[in-house]
Amino acid sequence: PTSGFTHLSPQGDGVTMVDVGAKTTTRRVAMARSVVIFPPEVMKEFDIRGSGIGVDRGMVSKSEMVGPKGPIFETARLAGIMGAKRTSELIPLCHPLPLDKVHIDIQLVGNHAIIECECRVTHKTGVEMEALMGASIAALTIYDMVKAVSHRVEIGKTILVNKSGGKRNVVGGNEQ
């Protein structure tokens, strides 16, 4: 009865790490998105720099919130990268992956911080858990850095936006 669940034993009474040894190595990419919603008191308290719109020295300008602990979004980017790299240490049945790249973008849109984490690997198993972990850890870091002003900060939906390179693909949050 558990044939569709790759992490369960055939009897359904135990868990197992999926054997990926016979799978083909392919380039795999995944992007996840998390949203952090700030109440008005947070928006008033922190210095907001950049609009996320326009071009600055050939690069898209980035939004940044700065507070007493320093640059909030830049700290969250670093934490998200670190989180993505440590996914297999926190999620018991994830394979440790030698990530080729982790990129985290954070834009402030109104009172929402939109976090996107893209992970890439050339391996036998997908990288979506690493992308979800990176986006989630970045969101938690933002919360940690603004909680002194308000605990009404909300971590909203975290979703897998895109996934490619494996048996199943996801585009725009929908399986293909």
173, 161 contact by CB (below 8 A): yes
Give CA separation, 71 vs 15, 67, 87, 141, in Å: 41, 7, 24, 11
63, 48 contact by CB (below 8 A): yes
Q: Check if 144 is active-site.
A: yes
Indicate which residue of 47, 56, 100, 144 is catalytic: 144
- In whole angstroms, what is the distance from residue 123 CA to residue 25 CA? 5
Task: Give the residue numbers annotated as catalytic, written as ranges.
Answer: 144
